A and B are shown apart, each in its own frame.
Chain A
Amino acid sequence: GAVVSQHPSWVICKSGTSVKIECRSLDFQATTMFWYRQFPKQSLMLMATSNEGSKATYEQGVEKDKFLINHASLTLSTLTVTSAHPEDSSFYICSARDTGGAGETQYFGPGTRLLVL
């Protein structure tokens, strides 16, 4: 089946530093990847849609200069949380849509837990 990996699985950083999270589709190509944020006991909130070779599309209220997204290849998208602050602590999840598949199904990564001290 389609597998999506994320790295790192968890990260602790100091306030003011930047953190990069990678999302990879391991056995399929993904023109489109998505980044979500999940707060404890809440649903996933879509942050942005990442398109290979073009700029990401951000959801309303998401600061694009703070959450930098790069989708440099058909198997890799990165999310960089710049100048992280404690309120950025959260569970970040990516998903990927199989370009060559039936179309609509998104495959999710295991998530990255970020703690900003």
Chain B
Amino acid sequence: GDSVTQMEGPVTLSEEAFLTINCTYTATGYPSLFWYVQYPGEGLQLLLKATKADDKGSNKGFEATYRKETTSFHLEKGSVQVSDSAVYFCALSTGGGNKLTFGTGTQLKVEL
């Protein structure tokens, strides 16, 4: 079945540091890939997505590139802020988006 593997957290960074959160997947067919963010006490919000190989999703300074050859969708940001502290979930969907399969989430803590 489909699965998503994320690096374990928590990841603790200083403000303005470079961020990478690794995500790899296994799926039948050609999935769409997503990153969702969950701020403390809130629901999940779509951060970015990519629907086909080599697509780059980007939003709020975050970006991720759909790499079919390595089955990866790593999340990156060049300079993190304290306000980026949250839990980040990588996810995929197949079959027209009827089901999302999530990774276990990676908690990011950004300190001054």
Contact = CB atoms under 8 A, between A and B. Distances in A.
Nearest to B89: A43
Interface residues of A, number: 22
A108 B105 contact: no
Contact of A104 (B44, B51, B107): B51
B89 A44 contact: yes
B29 to A, nearest CB: 13
B96 interface: yes
Interface in B75-111: 89, 93, 96-100, 102-105, 107
B96 A103 contact: yes
A95 B43 CA distance: 10
B46 interface: yes
A104 B97 contact: yes
A7 to B, nearest CB: 13
B45 interface: yes
Given A44-B102, A104-B32, A93 B96 contact: no
B44 A105 contact: no
A103 B97 contact: yes
A43 B104 contact: yes
A93 B43 contact: yes
In the complex, which of the residues A42, A49, A108, A109 has the most CB atoms of chain B within 10 Å of its own CB atom? A108
Interface in A27-82: 32, 34, 41-44, 46, 49
Contacts of A24: none
B43 A109 contact: yes
Interface in B33-57: 34, 36, 42-46, 49, 51
Contacts of A46: 99-100
Contacts of B44: 44, 93, 95, 108
A111 B105 contact: no
A106 interface: yes
11 contacts: A42-B104, A44-B89, A44-B100, A44-B102, A46-B99, A95-B44, A103-B97, A104-B96, A106-B100, A107-B46, A111-B42
